[in-house]
Structure 1
Amino acid sequence: MANTSPKGSMSMPTPRTTEELAPLVDEHVKLILSATDDGASFAPVDFDLTKPSANLAKYIDHTLLKPEATTDQVQAICEEAVKYGFKSCCVNSVHIPLVASIFKNTPTNLAETTTHPIPCSVVGFPLGAATTGAKCYETSLAIVDGAKEIDMVISVGHLKSKNYGYIYNDINAVVFAAKNIPVKVIIETSLLPSNEEKIAACYLAAEAGAAFVKTSTGFNGGGATVEDVRLMKRAVEYKNGEVKVKASGGVRTFEDAINVIKAGADRIGASSGVAIMSGGTGSGY
């Protein structure tokens, strides 16, 4: 049986088994693959698709996840995030105390918007192959250090083995550890060649309490494609907006950003946020 406790409840999550979940996953996969996609844009009606805007900035998680990232580089992306009004700075958990401190001590009148960016931490990154306990512990520490969102990586091998109970329980445990902090679940689309696997991953994440499903880490090739973002959006639509989609990896220009937003992205993870907002072309994640 699913964990049906309301959000904010502190009751322990209820484990689910592969035997229970497999027919539900199969049914959802068949439903999504058989449904007609009318190709309509998912972009909000009041969203300006012609030029960078404050609305676009609020879609962007400004990202620095390279293992060699220095404190000076982290400081720099925080300053850029404040300047442009990005939603967050997404960094490895070791940098969360610095990011949280910078945002806490930056006067709001230095920003172009009245809302500061927030610290976002990746967990189990980039492989997703850590134990559930390790992911939960990293989540808890990141939140203590100031993280306001968590981006976790699934165990791709367990998904490909159709060990759906493991995937659900892994995500659900991190959601529980995060308490009321939103959890984005990275399904690593570049390692999932079939649409069936992508839909299954999205369904399990949605059922386990994820706030977002996210395309990729950017560390395994590929990245966010319009086709994958659209498929993922359709896979979680049954949650009536409760679960959103984050497009990450390869979004380097304003045009890239607009294309994934039209495909259904509610958030964009990119190290090219400044290029996106200034009409240039970024590189990297």
Structure 2
Amino acid sequence: MNIRQYLDSTYLKTPSQAGITESESIQVAKEYIQEAISEHFKLIMIRPDRVALAKEIIDEAHSNVQIGTVIGFPEGTASIEEKLKEANQAIQDGADDLDFVCNYEAFKNDDLALVKNEILAGTALGLKNNKVVKWIIEVAAFNETQIIQLSALIKNIVISNFEEEDYASVFVKSSTGFYKTENNLPNGATIPTITLMLENASPLPVKAAGGVRTYEEAVEMIRLGVKRIGTSGAKAIANGENTQIEY
């Protein structure tokens, strides 16, 4: 199976997180963007301040690789206004996909009005601009019941407020890849969590992000029904090699 069109090749570390300088970080980002082009991946997922760079490189290469970025990343606690401002800038800079981090702490605290409002506003902004929107629910922060509830909430908001032809453009996504778990428990996509998401987000598509490290794991996710896989080891996975990269 050629899985390249399922892969969102991902580089989201800040220079300080990677332990490198700003100029070195820009160079790494360029390498990821160029690799996505040469490997014919679906998309390059990059930080908001690198979207314009990705757009320039991809346009120069006359490539069809799409550009995704993260909004409210990684904590998800930014206000709705801050998230919309960041998303608008990303749209202006050339992003195709907007991966919003849902305010999962607000959800855990039963502030459902806030969560509903940001899902509605962020989705509306993306769809109005013909963008793909993904809602990151951070499965490692939740128990099974909460995963079910938030996946269903996103689905119900989309079904109630948007047209059926929009559903394929609004994803529920598992993880940022940056959530810190206790005792080295998985912080991203696992078969049980992805299964819960698929069962409760349908007809919305699901993106598995964080923790997919082998070609076999990627194929298993695709066979379960996911439409996208986010990984910073995309080339290795696509070529049947294992990757130890965390996200």
1:214 matched to which residue of 2?
173
**Does the alignment pair 1:118 with 2:60?**
no
TM-score scaled by length of structure 2: 0.86
- What are structure 2's unaligned runs of at least 5 residues? 19-24, 159-168, 181-186
Match of 2:163 in 1: none
Q: Identity of aligned pairs, percent?
A: 33
Query: 1 CA distance for matches of 2:93 and 2:78?
Result: 21
More helix by share: 2
Contact 1:169/1:208 (<8 A) preserved: no
Task: Report the aligned-residue RMSD.
Answer: 1.3
Q: Which runs of structure 2 are paired with 1:222-233 in the superposition (5 Å)?
A: 222-233=187-198
Deviates most, 168-177 or 130-139:
168-177
For residues 226-253 of structure 1, what are the alpha-carbon distances to aligned partners after superposition, in whole Å with 9 as ceiling and x for unaligned? 111111011022x3xxx10000001111
Distance in 2 of aligned mates of 1:256 and 1:73:
26
Superposition deviation, residue 262 in structure 1: 2.1
**Comparing 251-260 and 142-151, the one that deviates more:** 251-260
Q: Aligned partners of 1:262 and 1:139: how far apart in 2?
A: 32
SS in structure 2 opposite 1:279?
Answer: coil
Where 1:89 maps in the other structure, the secondary structure is strand
CA distance in 1, matches of 2:48, 2:62: 24
Deviations 1:162-194 (A, max 9, x none): 22221111111111222221110000000002x
CA–CA distance in structure 1, aligned partners of residues 148 and 238 of structure 2: 31
Does residue 117 of structure 2 align to residue 169 of structure 1?
yes
The structural deviation recorded for 1:208 is: 3.1
Q: Which structure is larger by alpha-carbon Rg, 1 or 2?
A: 1
- Counting matched residue pairs gives 220
Query: Structure 2 residue aligned with 1:203, among 152, 174, 189?
Result: 152
Question: Counterparts in 2 of 1:48-59, with a 5 A limit?
Answer: 48=1, 53=2, 56-59=3-6
Q: Tell me the CA shift for residue 107 of structure 1.
A: 3.5
Instruction: Give the whole-Å Cα distance in 2 for the aligned partners of 1:161 and 1:199.
Output: 16
CA contact (8 A) 1:120 1:151 kept: yes
Q: Report SS of the residue matched to 2:8.
A: strand
Answer yes or no: is the 8 Å Cα contact 1:229–1:264 preserved in 2: no
Tell whether 2:133 aligns with 1:133: no
1:235 maps to 200
Residue by residue, what CA displacement relative to the aligned partner does 1:42-74 show, whole Å, maximum 9, x if unpaired? Answer: xxxxxx3xxxx1xx1000000000011611111
